[in-house]
Structure 1
Amino acid sequence: MIVDVRIYTCAVNRVAEFVKLYEEKAWPLQRKYLGNCLGWYVTVEGELNTVVHLWGYDSQADREARRNAMAADPAWAEYLDAVREGGMLVRMENRITRPAAHFAALSR
């Protein structure tokens, strides 16, 4: 398994607006295409105005196939347009991670 850690930094005081748009337009699509959401969070302390979500995949090929299918859906393009036009995000980052050996052994 791999985990895609996605980190979004919102413009100051725009987190609630971004989360609302995401819930309405992106969440249904991501649940449909990506499926395995491991967590979805907003920061309380530390670097504020940040949203973090984690998605689990069987492999990088699984991730690419799922994300490509989502990207082909016109509703996804509409969501991306709304985010861009709304100017809510200032930074997006993702990290592909895999379990460390000592942790992976626990999940077997």
Structure 2
Amino acid sequence: MKTMPIVDHRIYTIAPRKMGEFIEVFNTLAMPILRETLGNPLGFYTTWVGEQNQFVHLWGYESLDDYEKRSAARDSHPEFAKYLAASGHLIVSQSTSLIRSIDALNDN
């Protein structure tokens, strides 16, 4: 698997006992848009040990410019607002980090 220089590491904390509903809304409303605008994800995870009710997803990018362009496409997609409206009551908090691979640091 190719290492992506930049990874968007997102953690959503979901309301207790609402993970199933969130995943259904995410799969139905968000994933078609995300695949169209962001491409294929690196992975999806839920917490097993540690802080509970967390949904983690990772998306890889070639550069900060690539991240900005694809994120703008996602945010301006005409159907994305439907996902935001349908999921808003399920999300307690969100943390977004852009992380760089060690390979990207060595290229500087």
Quick one: which amino acid aligns to residue 36 of structure 2? K
User: Quick check: 1:15 aligned with 2:19?
Assistant: yes
User: Do the aligned partners of 1:4 and 1:97 also contact (CA within 8 Å) in 2?
Assistant: yes
SS of structure 1 residue aligned to 2:85: helix
1:51 is matched with which residue? 55
Once residues 69 and 101 of structure 1 are traced to their aligned partners in structure 2, the CA distance between those partners, rounded to angstroms, is 27
1:61 is matched with which residue? 65
Deviates more, 1:96-105 or 1:42-51: 96-105
What's the TM-score, normalizing by structure 1?
0.88
Number of equivalenced pairs: 103
Per-residue CA deviations over 1:8-64 (Å, capped at 9, x if unaligned) read 000111111101100000011111110131111111221110000000001111011
Identity, in percent, stands at 40
2:83 to 79, 87, 92: 79
Q: CA RMSD in A?
A: 1.8
What's the TM-score, normalizing by structure 2?
0.88
SS of structure 2 residue aligned to 1:79: helix
1:42 is matched with which residue? 46
2:92 to 78, 90, 93: 90
User: Do the aligned partners of 1:36 and 1:57 also contact (CA within 8 Å) in 2?
Assistant: no
Gaps of 5+ in 2: none
